[in-house]
């Protein structure tokens, strides 16, 4: 299946059935922290990248074959709002299943009324806002040249005011870039009046596109969460139930066995295991967290077994 993957364990959404609507690394941003690597198709142009009918057929098949997930999540390999069929996919999913539909978006295109209307039928939308100053925004998100921070923030505000579903905001924090006092002050000013249920703080826990994207310490995350108020929370580890069929452990064992032979890139691991790249990143994240493998930064990020220090 080329457009649907999982269910995979999500730290925020439990067991998530992923829906991918754009080719790999097609995005309006080129974020330094992206676990999928650098953006290769940098664009803000919407297109019908995939067949809506094919996507819905794949979701229907997956739902029949697997335990019911907690969410059907439109996310995947790039920015999902770039797909011009997004609204039709959401409407089709709502007809197909009672499982709530979530959208993970970088929020960069919410100034577009058509996109806001497409997202209106979703149950949960999680846009990102990593910075509220232009220098930090450009350093961290590396946006397409047509995108300006002021317009992006206005789009986010417009969407928050019209959306009737659940709305959370994700903020990805990187050491020395958007964690400074002036950055948090600017971010607080933007978020304080935004009608969102949660402000979810994240930091660089999975191997990023750029080695200089470094995580914050827990103590600093807690200080920033306190600054942002009661709606702020720090994204923790996956806490959902584990299905009894053992496939998660089998996949992790297969990846470790593969890396015991030679280091591999994300693309190579996906190809050799037959898994979707976004699905692979979930398991790689668990193995890195568990101290079994480690990233090596060359022209691309390679993974290898972790050696004793």
**Could you tell me the residue ranges of all domains in the chain?**
4-234, 247-305
* Residue 308 pLDDT exceeds 70: no
* Residue 150 pLDDT exceeds 60: yes
**Structure tokens that stand for 234 in this block:** 């720090």
138 three-class SS = helix
Common-topology check for domains 4-234 and 247-305: no
Strands (E), 78-214: 101-105, 124-127, 166-173, 198-203
**Structure tokens that stand for 275 in this block:** 């898994």
* Residue 8 pLDDT exceeds 80: no
Mean pLDDT value across residues 125-139? 97
Confidence (pLDDT) at 304: 80
Q: Which residues of 265-293 are buried (b: 16+ CB within 10 A; e: fewer)?
A: ebebbbeebebbbbbbbbbbbbbbeeeeb
Q: Which residues of 126-139 are buried (b: 16+ CB within 10 A; e: fewer)?
A: bbbbbbbbeebbeb
Model confidence over 48-100: pLDDT tens digits?
999 999 999 999 999 998 778 999 999 978 999 999 999 999 999 999 999 99
Indicate the CATH number for domain 4-234.
Answer: 3.20.20.70
Q: Are 8 and 19 in contact (CB under 8 A)?
A: no
What is the length of the chain?
A: 309
Distance between start and end Cα atoms, the chain? 40
Q: What pTM does this model have?
A: 0.83
Which has the minimum average pLDDT: 8-17, 66-75, 184-193, 235-244?
235-244
Model confidence over 159-198: pLDDT tens digits?
999 999 999 999 999 999 999 999 999 999 999 989 999 9
Q: Are 28 and 108 in contact (CB under 8 A)?
A: yes
Question: Hey, which CATH number is domain 247-305, 1.20.840.10, 1.10.10.10, 1.20.1250.20, 3.30.9.40?
Answer: 1.10.10.10
Q: Are 191 and 227 in contact (CB under 8 A)?
A: no
């Amino acid at each position: 299946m080329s457009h649907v993957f999982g269910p995979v364990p999500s730290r925020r959404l439990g067991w998530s059935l992923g829906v991918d609507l754009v080719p790999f690394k097609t995005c309006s941003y080129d974020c330094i922290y992206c676990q999928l690597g650098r953006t290769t198709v940098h664009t803000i142009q919407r297109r019908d990248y995939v067949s809506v009918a094919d996507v819905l057929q794949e979701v229907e098949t997956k739902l029949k074959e697997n335990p019911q997930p907690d969410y059907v999540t439109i996310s995947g390999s790039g920015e999902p709002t770039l797909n011009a069929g997004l609204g039709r996919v959401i409407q089709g999913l709502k007809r197909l299943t009672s499982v709530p539909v979530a959208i993970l978006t970088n929020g960069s295109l919410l100034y577009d009324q058509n996109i806001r209307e497409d997202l209106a039928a979703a149950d949960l939308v999680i846009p990102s806002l990593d910075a509220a100053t232009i220098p930090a925004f450009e350093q961290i998100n590396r946006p397409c040249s047509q995108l300006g921070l002021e317009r992006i923030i206005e789009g986010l505000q417009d969407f928050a005011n019209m959306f009737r579903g659940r709305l959370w905001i994700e903020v990805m924090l990187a050491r020395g870039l958007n964690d400074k006092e002036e950055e948090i002050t600017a971010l607080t000013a933007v978020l304080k009046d935004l009608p969102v249920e949660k402000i979810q703080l994240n930091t660089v826990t999975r191997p990023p596109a750029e080695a200089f994207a470094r995580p914050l310490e827990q103590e600093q995350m807690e200080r920033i969460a306190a600054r942002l108020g009661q709606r702020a929370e720090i994204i923790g580890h996956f806490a959902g139930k584990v299905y009894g069929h053992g496939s998660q452990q089998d996949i992790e064992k297969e990846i470790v066995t593969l890396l015991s032979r030679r280091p591999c890139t994300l693309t190579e691991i996906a190809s050799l295991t037959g898994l979707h790249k976004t699905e692979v990143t979930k398991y790689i994240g668990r193995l890195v967290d568990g101290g079994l493998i480690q990233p090596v930064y060359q022209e691309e990020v390679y993974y290898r077994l972790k050696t004793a220090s």
